């Protein structure tokens, strides 16, 4: 970890920058900073939003001014000890990989120069780290994806991506928790619920968790409560530009 | 239970409070009243907590039928409100008798009106708030975030406090022709914009674009140039002024995404956001720099008004 910077980004918010680039190796430090900042701010914390390399601290200006908030950040970052891996949860997510619910299986197979089975095998072959949550409640950005599967986002995002859709963009993968618009390549669908108001902590995935996907049959997917309705819209041609 | 029945829903009437906090790390947006100052004054008129649940009426088109008498308060935009066809000027506390209708037509000044109820509207908080976020299916009357719909019944459980009238000059919108100045706390990637762009940001009459909603407001004007490197997505505060590749700023409001990767000039103050939330497309606005400490002082003074 390089020297962290503390940046003003608004009247009541600071960005704590720990790294410059996305890297799995960041996670133990990011988790440690998350804990330390929560502890240091206590009641004066309104929201703490970690991302790949930074944490946004939204503090209560009725309790702290800018100088006091900066001082708390500095104090929290002193003597940070990385949170050892293995403390996060491990999840195995069963996925029905099929072109009817994951139309971009075809395109990714073509890019790979292999079969759809090859794509599935590679997607299931490694543990992914949850880097950050964002975009929608419970939407987890995970990586790193096998280089051979890396695929740019769709040029025009779909208006409707079904809940449970398993997706790929560049060297990241994710699952859409609820029906939403989306520009990622869809390769399959899971019946696992990712976000719920009645779930402890609301979100299944948390930063630092490890996720592995496991291919299952259509029958098993339906038995788990999955909805096999095909994805209505076909994705358009991918572009090298970022969506 | 008797209350106010939605007879005509209009395009966008939402139950809102101060917003949903403590869950943004899960990807859940902040939500809450876009013009939180107007909601605060509406609640103050009834003796409620400043951000007690009320209705945010965007653009108008809403008609409510009273099954029971009530004391209510109306602030914010002038949407041509009437009480049984008698004009109702925003910035007031009023009583509605059983059988009367409260109707909103179309914007005359501003965009969003706020209606407060004795003790606040009844709605069950979801993740700590009743703020309706349609995109996330959270909050509102049914907990699913949907907009008010014909047949919905608005109820409340509290009583109105002693009669109050607004101090002069608050709870209503500045008049026509008054220059709209939005205070911006500079920061984030501001140093990575060209000097000309930073000058232009603060010395331009920016125009509010048609593309404006609770997520963000797009401004049109000179093209701003970011000279820094590509960014990794990071947390976004309320009012963040982000500049995508086309150089036209987007100011992110209550329903913004929690993280994003566009460079930013800093963020409008929450007070400036509340003002921006009342600007119709085509309005000219000016950005003016303010120090975080000074912005905090002004903000605390606003909160102190409500005791």
Give the residue among B70, B76, B132, B148 at the shortest CA–CA distance from B102: B70
Q: End-to-end distance of chain A based on CA atoms, in angstroms?
A: 30
Structural domain range at position B38: 4-154
CA distance B202 to chain A (A): 16
Q: Are residue A37 and residue A126 in the same domain, yes or no?
A: no
**pLDDT score at B155:** 98
Q: Are residue B142 and residue B188 in the same domain, yes or no?
A: no
Most B CBs within 10 A among A4, A6, A9, A24, hence the mutation to make, goes to A9
In a domain, B88, yes or no: yes
- When divided into structural domains, chain B yields a total of 2
Q: Which of residues 191-220 of A touch B (CB under 8 A)?
A: 195, 197, 201-203
C-alpha B280/C-alpha B110 separation (Å) is 6
Q: Are residue B194 and residue B297 in the same domain, yes or no?
A: yes
In a domain, A231, yes or no: no
Residues B73, B46: contact at Cβ < 8 Å? Answer: yes
Spans of chain B below 50 pLDDT: none
Q: Is the pLDDT of residue A233 over 80?
A: no
Most B CBs within 10 A among A5, A8, A11, hence the mutation to make, goes to A11
Q: Are residue A115 and residue A49 in the same domain, yes or no?
A: no
Name B201's Cβ contacts closer than 8 Å, sequence gap at least 6: B193, B224, B241, B249, B265, B287
Residue A128 is inside which H or E element, if any?
strand A128-133
Q: Are residue A95 and residue A117 in the same domain, yes or no?
A: yes
In a domain, A145, yes or no: yes
Tell me, yes or no, if A116 comes closer than 8 A to chain B by beta carbon: no
Q: Could you tell me which chain A residue has the CA closest to the CA of B187?
A: A9
Q: Are residue A70 and residue A128 in the same domain, yes or no?
A: no
C-alpha B100/C-alpha B200 separation (Å) is 51
Q: Are residue B87 and residue B192 in the same domain, yes or no?
A: no
Cα Rg of chain A (Å, integer): 20
Write down the mean pLDDT value for chain A: 92
Residues A178, A195: contact at Cβ < 8 Å? Answer: yes
In a domain, A241, yes or no: no
Q: Are residue B71 and residue B192 in the same domain, yes or no?
A: no
Residue whose tokens read 């049984």: B84
Q: Is the pLDDT of residue A235 over 80?
A: no
Q: Are residue A119 and residue A177 in the same domain, yes or no?
A: yes
In a domain, B46, yes or no: yes
C-alpha A44/C-alpha A66 separation (Å) is 12
Residues B193, B226: contact at Cβ < 8 Å? Answer: yes
Of B27, B127, B143, Cβ closest to residue A135: B27
Residues A160, A124: contact at Cβ < 8 Å? Answer: no
Q: Which residues of B touch A (CB under 8 A)?
A: 21-28, 30, 126-127, 135-138, 143, 185, 187-188, 232-240, 257-260, 264, 266-267, 269-270, 292-293, 295-296, 299-300, 303
In a domain, B167, yes or no: no
CATH of the domain at A217: 2.40.100.10
C-alpha B287/C-alpha B272 separation (Å) is 10
**pLDDT score at A234:** 55
Q: Could you tell me which chain A residue has the CA closest to the CA of B272?
A: A11
**Interchain CB distance below 8 Å, B292 and A132:** no
Tell me the backbone φ, ψ of residue B163, rounded to 5 degrees: -50, 135
Tell me, yes or no, if A157 comes closer than 8 A to chain B by beta carbon: no
Tell me, yes or no, if A10 comes closer than 8 A to chain B by beta carbon: yes
A103 three-state secondary structure? coil
Q: Are residue B216 and residue B296 in the same domain, yes or no?
A: yes
In a domain, B234, yes or no: yes
**pLDDT score at A88:** 85
CA distance A113 to chain B (A): 30
In a domain, A166, yes or no: yes
Q: Is the pLDDT of residue A240 over 60?
A: no
**Model pTM above 0.90:** yes
Q: Is the pLDDT of residue A243 over 60?
A: no
**Interchain CB distance below 8 Å, A66 and B296:** yes
CB atoms within 10 A of CB A160: 12
Q: Are residue B112 and residue B222 in the same domain, yes or no?
A: no
Mean pLDDT score, A51-56: 97
Mean pLDDT score, A98-117: 96
Residue whose tokens read 């099929």: A98
- When divided into structural domains, chain A yields a total of 2
Tell me, yes or no, if A171 comes closer than 8 A to chain B by beta carbon: no
**pLDDT score at A239:** 43
**pLDDT score at B168:** 84
Name B231's Cβ contacts closer than 8 Å, sequence gap at least 6: B189, B261, B262, B263
Q: Are residue A116 and residue A68 in the same domain, yes or no?
A: no
Q: Are residue A40 and residue A71 in the same domain, yes or no?
A: yes
Q: Are residue B204 and residue B257 in the same domain, yes or no?
A: yes
Mean pLDDT score, A21-46: 95
Q: Are residue A98 and residue A217 in the same domain, yes or no?
A: yes
Mean pLDDT score, A143-156: 92
Q: Are residue A32 and residue A57 in the same domain, yes or no?
A: yes
Name A227's Cβ contacts closer than 8 Å, sequence gap at least 6: A162, A163, A164, A189, A191
Angle subtended at Cα A44 by Cα B122 and Cα A194, rounded to the nearest 5 degrees:
60
Residues A191, A226: contact at Cβ < 8 Å? Answer: yes
Most B CBs within 10 A among A10, A38, A67, A171, hence the mutation to make, goes to A10
In a domain, A43, yes or no: yes
Structural domain range at position A142: 90-223
Residues pairing with B286 in the sheet: B181
Could you say which of B139, B154, B169 is where a domain stops?
Answer: B154
**Interchain CB distance below 8 Å, B26 and A138:** yes
C-alpha A41/C-alpha A69 separation (Å) is 8
Residues B119, B157: contact at Cβ < 8 Å? Answer: yes
Q: Are residue B31 and residue B112 in the same domain, yes or no?
A: yes
C-alpha B74/C-alpha B217 separation (Å) is 24
Q: Are residue B144 and residue B37 in the same domain, yes or no?
A: yes
Which chain A residues contact residue B143 at CB under 8 A? Answer: 197
Q: Are residue B94 and residue B206 in the same domain, yes or no?
A: no
ipTM: 0.96
In a domain, A168, yes or no: yes
Which chain A residues contact residue B272 at CB under 8 A? Answer: none
Q: Are residue B57 and residue B135 in the same domain, yes or no?
A: yes
Question: How do residues B140-194 score in pLDDT, each as one tens digit?
Answer: 999 999 999 999 999 999 999 999 999 987 766 766 667 899 999 999 899 999 9
Q: Write b or e for each residue in B13-39: b if 16 or more Cβ atoms lie within 10 A of its Cβ, otherwise e.
A: bbbbbbbbbebbbbbbbbbbbbbbbbb
CATH of the domain at B196: 2.40.100.10
Sign, Cα dihedral of B158, B163, B166, B172: positive
Range from A44-48, A155-159, B10-14 carrying the lowest mean pLDDT: A155-159
In a domain, B163, yes or no: no
The pair of structure tokens assigned to B91 is 């910035």
Of B138, B185, B234, Cβ closest to residue A11: B185
Q: Are residue A58 and residue A19 in the same domain, yes or no?
A: yes
In a domain, A235, yes or no: no
Tell me, yes or no, if A2 comes closer than 8 A to chain B by beta carbon: no
Q: Is the pLDDT of residue A242 over 60?
A: no
The pair of structure tokens assigned to A113 is 């120069």
**pLDDT score at B172:** 61
Q: Write b or e for each residue in B269-280: b if 16 or more Cβ atoms lie within 10 A of its Cβ, otherwise e.
A: bbbbbbbbbbbe
Q: Are residue A115 and residue A184 in the same domain, yes or no?
A: yes
DSSP E strand boundaries for chain B: 4-8, 12-16, 54-58, 63-66, 70-78, 82-83, 86-87, 92-96, 101-103, 109-116, 153-154, 180-186, 206-212, 216-220, 234-235, 240-242, 250-252, 259-260, 264-268, 284-289
Could you say which of A46, A77, A108 is where a domain stops?
Answer: A77
C-alpha B276/C-alpha B227 separation (Å) is 28
Q: Is the pLDDT of residue A38 over 50?
A: yes
**Interchain CB distance below 8 Å, B270 and A11:** yes
**pLDDT score at B238:** 98
**pLDDT score at A241:** 36
In a domain, A142, yes or no: yes
Mean pLDDT score, A19-36: 94
Give the residue among A1, A148, A186, A157 at the shortest CA–CA distance from A81: A1
**pLDDT score at B175:** 63
Could you say which of A77, A101, A123 is where a domain stops?
Answer: A77
Q: Are residue A134 and residue A54 in the same domain, yes or no?
A: no
CATH of the domain at A51: 3.30.1360.40
Which chain B residues contact residue A12 at CB under 8 A? Answer: 237, 270, 296
């Amino acid at each position: 970890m390089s020297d962290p910077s503390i940046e003003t980004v608004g009247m009541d918010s600071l960005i704590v920058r720990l790294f410059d680039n996305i890297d799995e190796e960041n996670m133990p430090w990011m988790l440690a900073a998350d804990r330390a900042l929560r502890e240091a701010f206590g009641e004066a914390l309104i929201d703490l939003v970690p991302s790949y390399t930074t944490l946004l601290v939204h503090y209560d200006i009725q309790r702290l001014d800018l100088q006091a908030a900066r001082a708390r950040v500095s104090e929290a970052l002193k003597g940070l000890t990385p949170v050892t891996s293995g403390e996060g949860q491990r999840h195995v997510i069963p996925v029905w990989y099929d072109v009817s619910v994951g139309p971009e299986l075809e395109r990714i197979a073509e890019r790979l120069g292999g079969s759809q089975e090859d794509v599935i095998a590679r997607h299931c072959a490694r543990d992914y780290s949850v880097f950050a949550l964002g975009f929608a409640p419970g939407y987890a950005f995970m990586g790193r994806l096998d280089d051979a599967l890396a695929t740019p986002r769709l040029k025009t995002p779909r208006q409707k991506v079904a809940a449970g859709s398993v997706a790929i963009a560049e060297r990241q993968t994710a699952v859409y928790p609820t029906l939403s618009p989306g520009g990622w390549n869809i390769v399959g669908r899971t019946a696992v619920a990712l976000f719920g108001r009645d779930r402890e902590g609301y979100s299944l995935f948390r930063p630092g968790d490890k996720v592995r996907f496991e291919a299952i049959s259509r029958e098993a997917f339906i038995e788990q409560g999955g909805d096999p309705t095909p994805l209505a819209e076909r994705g358009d041609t991918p572009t090298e530009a970022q969506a | 239970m008797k209350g106010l029945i939605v007879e005509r829903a209009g395009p966008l009437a939402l139950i809102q409070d101060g917003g949903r906090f403590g869950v943004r790390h899960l990807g859940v947006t902040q939500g809450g009243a876009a013009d939180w100052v107007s909601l605060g004054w509406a609640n103050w008129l009834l003796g409620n907590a400043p951000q007690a649940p009320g209705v945010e009426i965007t653009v108008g088109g809403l008609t409510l039928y009273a099954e029971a008498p009530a004391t209510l308060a109306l602030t914010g935009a002038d949407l041509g409100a009437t009480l049984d066809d008698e004009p109702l000027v925003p910035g007031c506390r009023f009583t509605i008798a059983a059988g009367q209708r409260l109707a909103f037509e179309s914007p005359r000044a501003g965009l969003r009106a706020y209606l407060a109820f004795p003790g606040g509207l009844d709605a069950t908080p979801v993740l700590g708030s009743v703020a309706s976020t349609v995109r996330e299916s959270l909050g509102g009357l049914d907990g699913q975030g949907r907009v008010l719909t014909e047949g919905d019944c608005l109820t409340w459980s509290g009583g109105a406090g002693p009669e109050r009238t607004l101090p002069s000059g608050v709870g209503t919108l500045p008049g026509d022709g008054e220059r709209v100045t939005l205070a911006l706390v500079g920061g984030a990637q501001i140093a990575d914009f060209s000097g000309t762009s930073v000058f232009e940001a603060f010395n331009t009459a920016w125009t509010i674009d048609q593309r404006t909603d609770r997520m963000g407001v797009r401004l049109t004007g000179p093209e701003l140039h970011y000279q820094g490197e590509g960014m990794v997505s990071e947390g976004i505060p309320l009012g963040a002024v982000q500049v995508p590749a086309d150089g036209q700023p987007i100011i992110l409001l209550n329903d913004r995404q929690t993280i994003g990767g566009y460079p930013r000039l800093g963020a409008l103050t929450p007070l400036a956001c509340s003002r921006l939330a009342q600007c119709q497309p085509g309005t000219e606005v000016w950005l003016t720099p303010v120090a975080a400490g000074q912005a905090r002082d002004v903000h605390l003074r606003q909160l102190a008004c409500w005791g």
